[in-house]
Structures are given as structure tokens and as C-alpha cells.
Structure 1
């Protein structure tokens, strides 16, 4: 019997562990359902159709969590703060974004450890996008 060297077995990514593309598709779709009905947050999205924004966020999250690198292949480096710079992201927008994302995360019914890992990142990401006092 041949021994497998330590560290050579493939490790599942978070993306794979939580269900892959389908999970992120559901997360982001549910999030944008909330955005569509939120006048304050909806104002941050200049496109009439939220579909392209939904696709961008989905592809970003998939890549961030270890899935295909389609986001970077299509759009280059994420540069999230730069991309959000033209928009007024204040505390109210931050709170609304997290409120809709919380609803979306809850609907996934993830394993508690995975849910915490995802939520901790989303809270961090939301805070890092704030660029306007108030």
C-alpha cells in the first residue's frame, strides 16, 4: 500500500461545501428581491434591470469562496471599493444591504459553521463599502 503524503489530498472549497453555484444563485437572487422592493437601497443601482448587478455579485461571491474565476476573467480584479466609489454608501445603505442579505442567508439554511463564516464575511464587506458619513 502506498502512503499518500500529508497535504496532497484535495480540500473542498467553501463554495463546494455549501452547495456550489446553486447556493450562491439562490443567495444573490433572494438578496436582489429585497433590493428591488427597498426604495432607499434600490436608488444605489442605476440600471433599471437588476439582472446584471445580480450576476456580478453572484460571480464575485462564487469566485471569492473558491468557485470558478469567471468574475475576474470577465471583469478583471474585483477592486470593490473603487467600483463602489461613485455611489453614496452610508450607514443606512449598509444597514439595508445587511438586512436583505440576512434574509437571503437565512433562507439558505446552511450548516451553522458555514452560515457564520459567510455572515462574518458579509458583515466585513458591507462595512468596508461605507464611504459617506451618516
Structure 2
């Protein structure tokens, strides 16, 4: 990778991130347990936020920070109960979304590794915690 080339560009830019996140939210929409974690009736705002976040993380446009401030991934998720089972459901749909991309193996592995580590870092409740996805008491 040259100094001028970002991972965002290597991944294929906006079309790749749009497809990844759109496919992910198609899975979420059909998963009642995971869908319950998203309070908005329409998933499009959540889809847009995740897409902007991932694009910025991988070196693309900084729209996320311009509109929402510093990403603070863990802090933004603290109000929600996230159990290992919810993490696993999230990862299932995200890995299925990764399967729809045509990335080179090294880029595919890099993306999957990041998504897995990020998902594990957000778990903040033991299995069986009350009110999945809703603010903690």
C-alpha cells in the first residue's frame, strides 16, 4: 500500500461499504432478536451511521466526525445491553455481508478481523441480561 492509497480505496470505496452495510441491515431486518436492538422504525439512519463510521475508519470521507463528532465506539454503545449472544448475532449478519463482497483474501481477512474485534469489545452484559438492546438501569 502506497502512502497515497487508503484501505478505503483498496476495499473499493463507497460502493463496497454501501454494499457491506446494506447487506448487513438486510440480515438485521429479518432477525427479530437483533432487530429489537434498533429502536428506530426505519433502519436507514442506522445504516447510514454505520456506513459513514466504517468509511471514515478505513480512511475514507470524514463525514461521520463532521456530523456526529468523535466516533467513540464503546462510549456510544454503553447505554445498550449487549450480551455475547447479541454480539454473535451481529457477527453472523456482518460476516454474511462480508461474504457478498469480492475482496482480495488479505483485505477480506483484515476487514473480518476488525469487525470481530470491534464486536467483542462492545459486549457489556452477561448472557441473560434483561431488556436486550435497551438502555441499562
For 1:49 and 1:84, the matched residues in 2 are separated by 19
Match of 2:30 in 1: 37
Structure 1: which 5+ residue stretches go unaligned?
A: 1-8
- Mark the structure with the bigger radius of gyration: 1
For 2:33 and 2:76, the matched residues in 1 are separated by 19
2:103 aligned to which of 95, 110, 118: 110
User: How many residues get paired?
Assistant: 126
TM-score computed with the length of structure 1 as normaliser: 0.92
Moved over 2 A (4+): none
For 1:129 and 1:44, the matched residues in 2 are separated by 13
Match of 2:135 in 1: none
For 1:38 and 1:87, the matched residues in 2 are separated by 18
5 Å-filtered alignment, 1:44-123, equals 44-123=37-116
Across the aligned residues of Structure 1 and Structure 2, the Cα RMSD in angstroms comes to 0.9
TM-score computed with the length of structure 2 as normaliser: 0.90
For 1:85 and 1:31, the matched residues in 2 are separated by 22
For 2:125 and 2:83, the matched residues in 1 are separated by 5
Task: Please say which of residues 58-67 and 79-88 is displaced more in the overlay.
Answer: 79-88
